[in-house]
Amino acid sequence: MSPIDTYFAALPADQYACLTDLRQRLRHLLPDATEVISYAMPGHRIGKKVIAGYAGFARHCGFYPHSGGIIPGLAAELETAGFKHSKSGVLFTPENPLPDTLLRRIVAARLAEAGLDPTLPA
């Protein structure tokens, strides 16, 4: 098994389903990315830059754009949508996953910050 498959195999069923969905959405948004393990979590890398990572924890899941500059710029939008966040990531649950609109905004912002084309597939 790959390290990513091993990571997923250890998740509780609800997080497995939620993060599998997130993984598929990221594969769609980042078709040229390579899946990696970075900071002990699955992620998507383009070139040498990790664009997005995600993880399951005891009481929540997290999405991390591997930058301290992206989430603070979306703080008001995240709070309005009911998502807790830190400087580096957004917390969500399987019952309340990260919506496509927010995921797309975060990924596009990270791509732009990394000096890559922020245009995402429809």
- The closest alpha carbon to 56, from 19, 2, 84, 20, belongs to 19
* Average pLDDT of the segment spanning 69-96: 96
The confidence score (pLDDT) of residue 1 equals 84
% the chain with pLDDT above 90: 99
Q: What is the model's pTM?
A: 0.95
Ranges of each domain in the chain: 3-96
Topology at the third CATH level for domain 3-96: Aspartate Aminotransferase, domain 1 (3.90.1150)
The per-residue pLDDT of the chain, averaged, comes to: 96
Cβ atoms of 71 and 85 within 8 Å: the answer is yes
99-111 pLDDT, tens digit each? 999 999 999 999 9
37-53 pLDDT, tens digit each? 999 999 999 999 999 99
